[in-house]
């Protein structure tokens, strides 16, 4: 039996970690720091311009050794190799998982089903480039000969969260003469508000959908088509100038009325939540231009190479993934807070939610057996310092253990007075306060009356990582996203799950299709749901009348 196929909980490292946890769970971070005056330098690593301080975690050298042993026993090395060489590691969909090919430089070989996919990736990049140049320069004209000033991306999930996050994150680098909007929700308000102040003659829609069948996206795309046609004299030929598509499904794109010459292709080996650097990034390239987009791809690639080639003890995504396992499976932590101290990263936690939770929210192993341990934690967060005045109270003094990732940049993109020093001071202060807290003695020494002391005590011992980079650039964004992508992969390998399918979204979709028919069909249609669902549908049907 290969090492990696042994059940997780029967692995020597897993068992040793369980015993080790019992030994160190009561050792406070204060003690760990007191024991080793160099701990703050010791548990750090830096690669490709990303510095990780993981010293404020509840770990010792022994913990790291055992976690690394777990990675080895789980066959992580061979699974990384399998992903990079195009093996069909998404077993339930029988697909290769090759987002790394999207940022592979020209000349690399990555073969799927006997075909090198890298030239195809670069052909699409070239097509995107020439399209973006034409739109950004004003050469691409709308139906009435006006230049395009507004771009609306219509998509959902990976076909929205990546584009909107990248746009918000890289706004500093974007063409401010153009307006970018993102429509995802089937709630009509999303579309209505996105176009309320736009002129159809200057508006280009990008319909982004891997499958081109997703209910929300197709509904919004048809509404956009009606809106555009209504504003352009109802002339069908205007669609060619105001709609382009990003998809793997040429037949459906054609059916919708978009010329496949204006379709930007990607492939079934790109998962939706791993697609922001494929043609799904068309709106990103339109906003920031080719050079910046290429720099972002280069950032992704640098992290890919780091992940592929660096020994695990210095490997950023591996360390981040293993720490997540440590808290999730041994401390019983249920969530991870991601706290970017950078306003431009305000959509980053939302992006990470799909990346992490759609990937690792699984309850069976690759072989279809129920897992007997916890898998994917809940990822959430908000930018600092806003979160500090909202939910940090619970992280500091609540009853739950919430490991935190703090993300910050040494140089500000908008240097204004002392703002950046204050921002960074808050990052360092929060991680210090979480780790060391404030004892009853310290609180008393400040003259606090006895009755108030318990309320003002901070127990500390709250773990965090600090991730620092020089400045938020397109290249840094690529590195950051790839860091989390590969951390998710690392966790999925250890849990022996398929991180690349998403069957859990199916049931709700199917039921919604059935209920749409019941809501819009004859009022006397007999309902065969449970009594609660029947009652809710009936109530809505009556209100509609
Ligand atoms: O939520 C399920 C899902 O399939 C995601 O994985 C995907 O990103 C999203 O729907 C959108 O799918 P598509 O790009 O095919 O419209």
Please report which confidence band the pLDDT of residue 524 belongs to, taking 50, 70 and 90 as the band edges: confident
Tell me the per-residue pLDDT of 406-456, one tens digit each, with 9 for 90 and over: 999 999 999 999 999 999 999 999 999 999 999 999 999 999 999 999 999
Tell me the CA–centroid distance for residue 124 and ligand 1, in Å: 21
Cβ of 302 below 6 Å from ligand 1 = no
- What does the pLDDT read at residue 297? 98
How far apart CA 7 and CA 170 sit, in angstroms, is 43
Give the burial class of 529: count Cβ atoms within 10 A of its Cβ; 0-12 exposed, 13-18 middle, 19 or more buried.
Answer: middle
Tell me the CA–centroid distance for residue 265 and ligand 1, in Å: 16
At residue 37's C-alpha, the angle toward residues 33 and 43, to 5°, is 70
How far apart CA 180 and CA 164 sit, in angstroms, is 9
- What does the pLDDT read at residue 523? 83
Three-state DSSP class for residue 107? coil
Cβ of 353 below 6 Å from ligand 1 = no
The tokens 């997540």 sit on which residue?
324
Tell me the CA–centroid distance for residue 184 and ligand 1, in Å: 11
- What does the pLDDT read at residue 4? 53
Averaged pLDDT, 503-518: 94
The answer to whether residues 153 and 168 touch, using CB atoms and an 8 Å cutoff, is: no
pLDDT surpassing 60 at residue 3 = no
Averaged pLDDT, 132-147: 98
What Cα–Cα distance (Å) separates residue 316 from each residue in 47, 54, 465?
8, 10, 11
Tell me the CA–centroid distance for residue 39 and ligand 1, in Å: 43
Cβ of 359 below 6 Å from ligand 1 = no
Cβ of 526 below 6 Å from ligand 1 = no
How far apart CA 222 and CA 182 sit, in angstroms, is 15
**Per-residue DSSP letters for 297-351?**
HHHHHHHHHHHHHS-GGG-HHHHHHHHHHIIIIII---EEEEEES-GGGTTHHHH
Q: From the DSSP assignment, how many helices (H) and strands (E) are in the chain?
A: 22, 13
Tell me the per-residue pLDDT of 289-308, one tens digit each, with 9 for 90 and over: 999 999 999 999 999 999 99
How far apart CA 294 and CA 541 sit, in angstroms, is 52
- What does the pLDDT read at residue 2? 44
Residue in 93, 210, 356, 499 to alter for ligand 1 test, most ligand atoms within 8 A of Cβ = 210
Q: What are 120's two structure tokens?
A: 């195809």
Cβ of 310 below 6 Å from ligand 1 = no
Please report which confidence band the pLDDT of residue 162 belongs to, taking 50, 70 and 90 as the band edges: very high
The residues pairing with 205 across neighbouring beta strands, listed in sequence order, are 152, 243
Tell me the CA–centroid distance for residue 155 and ligand 1, in Å: 8
Cβ of 276 below 6 Å from ligand 1 = no
Cβ of 92 below 6 Å from ligand 1 = no
Compute the mean pLDDT over every residue in the chain, rounded to the nearest whole number.
97
Of ligand 1's atoms, which has the minimum distance to the CA of residue 280?
Answer: 14
Residue in 157, 218, 269 to alter for ligand 1 test, most ligand atoms within 8 A of Cβ = 157
How far apart CA 52 and CA 483 sit, in angstroms, is 11
Q: Diameter of the chain by CA atoms?
A: 78
The answer to whether residues 188 and 223 touch, using CB atoms and an 8 Å cutoff, is: yes
Nearest CA to ligand 1 atom 10: 157
The residues pairing with 47 across neighbouring beta strands, listed in sequence order, are 50
- What does the pLDDT read at residue 1? 38
Cβ of 90 below 6 Å from ligand 1 = no
Give the burial class of 536: count Cβ atoms within 10 A of its Cβ; 0-12 exposed, 13-18 middle, 19 or more buried.
Answer: middle
How far apart CA 285 and CA 294 sit, in angstroms, is 9
Cβ of 211 below 6 Å from ligand 1 = yes
Residue 60: is the preceding peptide bond cis (ω within 30°)? Answer: no
How far apart CA 132 and CA 245 sit, in angstroms, is 14
Averaged pLDDT, 224-234: 97
Tell me the CA–centroid distance for residue 210 and ligand 1, in Å: 7
Tell me the CA–centroid distance for residue 217 and ligand 1, in Å: 9
The residue length of the chain stands at 545
Q: Which stretches within 457-530 are classed as H helix?
A: 474-495, 506-520
How far apart CA 236 and CA 239 sit, in angstroms, is 6
Cβ of 214 below 6 Å from ligand 1 = yes
Residue in 502, 506, 509 to alter for ligand 1 test, most ligand atoms within 8 A of Cβ = 502
Dihedral of alpha carbons 426, 427, 430, 435, sign: negative
Q: What are 298's two structure tokens?
A: 């280069």
How far apart CA 229 and CA 144 sit, in angstroms, is 12
How far apart CA 282 and CA 278 sit, in angstroms, is 8
At residue 296's C-alpha, the angle toward residues 137 and 47, to 5°, is 160
**10 Å Cβ neighbour count for 511?**
12
Cβ of 153 below 6 Å from ligand 1 = no
- Residue 104 φ then ψ, to 5°: -75, 130
What Cα–Cα distance (Å) separates residue 265 from each residue in 10, 247, 433?
44, 5, 49
Please report which confidence band the pLDDT of residue 545 belongs to, taking 50, 70 and 90 as the band edges: confident
Tell me the CA–centroid distance for residue 511 and ligand 1, in Å: 17
Of ligand 1's atoms, which has the minimum distance to the CA of residue 214?
Answer: 16
Element (H, E) at 63: helix 61-73
The answer to whether residues 127 and 180 touch, using CB atoms and an 8 Å cutoff, is: no
Please report which confidence band the pLDDT of residue 30 belongs to, taking 50, 70 and 90 as the band edges: very high
Averaged pLDDT, 312-340: 98
Tell me the per-residue pLDDT of 346-403, one tens digit each, with 9 for 90 and over: 999 999 999 999 999 999 999 999 999 999 999 999 999 999 999 999 999 999 999 9
Give the burial class of 506: count Cβ atoms within 10 A of its Cβ; 0-12 exposed, 13-18 middle, 19 or more buried.
Answer: exposed
Of ligand 1's atoms, which has the minimum distance to the CA of residue 272?
Answer: 8
Cβ of 502 below 6 Å from ligand 1 = yes
How far apart CA 111 and CA 87 sit, in angstroms, is 9
- Residues with a known catalytic role: 358, 389, 509
- What does the pLDDT read at residue 5? 62
Averaged pLDDT, 38-56: 98
**Taking Cα atoms as reference points, which of 261, 289, 239 lies closest to residue 132?**
289
pTM over 0.75: yes
Give the burial class of 165: count Cβ atoms within 10 A of its Cβ; 0-12 exposed, 13-18 middle, 19 or more buried.
Answer: buried
Nearest CA to ligand 1 atom 9: 157
**Taking Cα atoms as reference points, which of 468, 482, 70, 472 lies closest to residue 307?**
482
Tell me the CA–centroid distance for residue 355 and ligand 1, in Å: 12
- What does the pLDDT read at residue 481? 98
Percentage above 90 pLDDT, the chain: 97
Cβ of 273 below 6 Å from ligand 1 = yes
Of ligand 1's atoms, which has the minimum distance to the CA of residue 217?
Answer: 16
């Amino acid at each position: 039996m290969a090492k990696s196929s042994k059940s997780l909980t029967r692995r020597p490292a897993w068992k040793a970690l369980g015993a080790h946890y019992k030994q160190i769970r009561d050792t406070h971070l204060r003690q760990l720091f007191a024991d080793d005056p160099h701990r703050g330098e010791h548990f750090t690593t830096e690669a490709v311009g990303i510095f990780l301080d993981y010293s404020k975690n509840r770990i010792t050298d022994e913990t790291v050794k055992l976690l690394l042993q777990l990675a080895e026993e789980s066959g992580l090395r061979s699974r990384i190799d399998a992903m990079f060489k195009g093996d069909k590691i998404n077993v339930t969909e029988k697909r290769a998982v090759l987002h790394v090919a999207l940022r592979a430089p020209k000349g690399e070989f990555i073969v799927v089903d006997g075909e090198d996919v890298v030239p195809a990736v670069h052909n699409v990049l070239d097509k995107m480039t020439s399209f973006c140049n034409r739109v950004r320069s004003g050469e691409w004209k709308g139906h009435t000969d006006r230049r395009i000033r507004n771009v609306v991306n219509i998509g959902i999930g990976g076909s929205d969260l990546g584009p909107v996050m990248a746009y918000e994150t890289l706004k500093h680098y974007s063409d401010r003469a153009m307006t970018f909007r993102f429509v995802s929700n089937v709630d009509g308000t999303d579309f209505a508000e996105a176009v309320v102040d736009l002129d159809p003659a200057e508006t280009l829609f990008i319909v982004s959908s891997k499958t081109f069948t997703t209910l929300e996206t197709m509904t919004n795309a048809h509404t956009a088509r009606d809106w555009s046609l209504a504003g352009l004299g109802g002339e069908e030929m205007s669609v060619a100038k105001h709609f382009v598509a990003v998809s793997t499904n040429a037949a459906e794109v054609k059916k919708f009325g978009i010329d496949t010459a204006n379709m930007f292709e990607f492939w079934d080996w790109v998962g939706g939540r791993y697609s922001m650097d494929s043609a799904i990034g068309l709106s990103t390239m339109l906003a920031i231009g080719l050079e910046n987009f290429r720099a972002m791809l280069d950032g992704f690639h640098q992290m890919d190479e780091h992940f592929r080639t660096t020994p695990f003890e210095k490997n950023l995504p591996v360390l981040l993934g293993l720490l997540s396992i440590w808290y999730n499976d041994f401390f019983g932590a249920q969530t991870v807070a991601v706290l970017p101290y950078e306003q431009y990263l305000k959509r980053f936690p939302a992006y990470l939610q799909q990346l992490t939770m759609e990937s690792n929210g699984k309850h069976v192993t690759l072989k279809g057996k129920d897992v007997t341990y916890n898998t994917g934690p809940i990822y959430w967060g908000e930018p600092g310092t806003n979160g500090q005045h909202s939910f940090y109270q619970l992280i500091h003094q609540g009853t739950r253990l919430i490991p935190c990732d703090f993300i910050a940049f040494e140089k500000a993109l908008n240097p204004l007075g002392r703002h950046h020093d204050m921002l960074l001071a808050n990052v360092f202060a929060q991680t210090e306060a979480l780790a060391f807290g404030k004892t009853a003695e310290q609180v008393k020494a400040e003259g606090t009356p006895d009755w108030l002391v318990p309320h003002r005590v901070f127990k500390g011992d709250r773990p965090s990582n600090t991730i620092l980079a020089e400045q938020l650039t397109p290249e840094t964004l690529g590195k950051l996203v790839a860091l989390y992508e590969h951390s998710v992969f690392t966790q999925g390998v250890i849990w022996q799950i398929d991180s690349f399918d998403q069957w859990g979204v199916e049931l709700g979709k199917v039921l919604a299709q059935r209920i749409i028919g019941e809501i819009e069909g004859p009022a006397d249609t007999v309902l065969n749901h449970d009594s609660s669902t029947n009652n809710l549908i009936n109530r809505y049907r009556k209100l509609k009348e």
